[in-house]
Amino acid sequence: MNWVIAPLDSSFERAQFDCGDDALNRFIRQHARQQQDKHLGQTRVAVAEGLRQVMGFYTLSAGSIGFQSLGEQLRRKLPKYPIPAARLGRLAVDKGAQGQGLGHKLLAHAFTAVVELSGKIGITVMVVDAKDEKAATFYRRFGFISCQDQPLALYLMTETLCGAQFRRLG
């Protein structure tokens, strides 16, 4: 399947999106555009080439992570105040596209966006709050590390995003 990932706008069909999680379904159907319009987060959607039905999405926003949340080895290299971060707020794939690699493609797209942005503003890490242990396991496969104080909160250094393993994802 050829997937196209683009900024969310009103031309995309979201009403039938169903990833199996009511909160994520509600977000893309009812809240993503409003939050985007208010600059609270930027959502990118995945559609099959030539179609407008949303089959996956992710949202990025700016944020920070507490110094104490990071691993000890990393803390030795950083100042003792909140560290600038890009926050992957949500990532979901419709049931009809699950198991086809779309989640990997969306994550790779998000990585590229964060790397590009880190060349313009200070971003030291990419953070994500996994909704459950299954989601955390997905992110750990790509090198995300659990925060010291919250195992479902994970982070990945932006310098790691430039690595070869992530270029192969896209």
Q: What is the dihedral of CA 94, 168, 143, 22, to 10 degrees?
A: -10
What averages of pLDDT result for each successive group of 10 residues across the chain (170 residues)?
A: 94 97 97 95 96 98 77 66 86 96 94 90 90 92 85 84 52
Sheet of 125-129, strand order: 3-7, 42-48, 56-65, 83-93, 125-129, 153-157, 145-146
pLDDT for 119 equals: 85
Based on the residue annotation, tell me whether 81 is a catalytic residue of this protein: no
pLDDT for 165 equals: 47
pLDDT for 164 equals: 41
CATH number for the domain spanning 17: value is: 3.40.630.30
Q: How many domains in the chain?
A: 1
Q: Which domain holds residue 109?
A: 3-167
Burial class of residue 18 (count of CB atoms within 10 Å of its CB; 0-12, 13-18, 19+): middle
Asked if residues 58 and 90 have their Cβ atoms less than 8 Å apart, the reply is yes
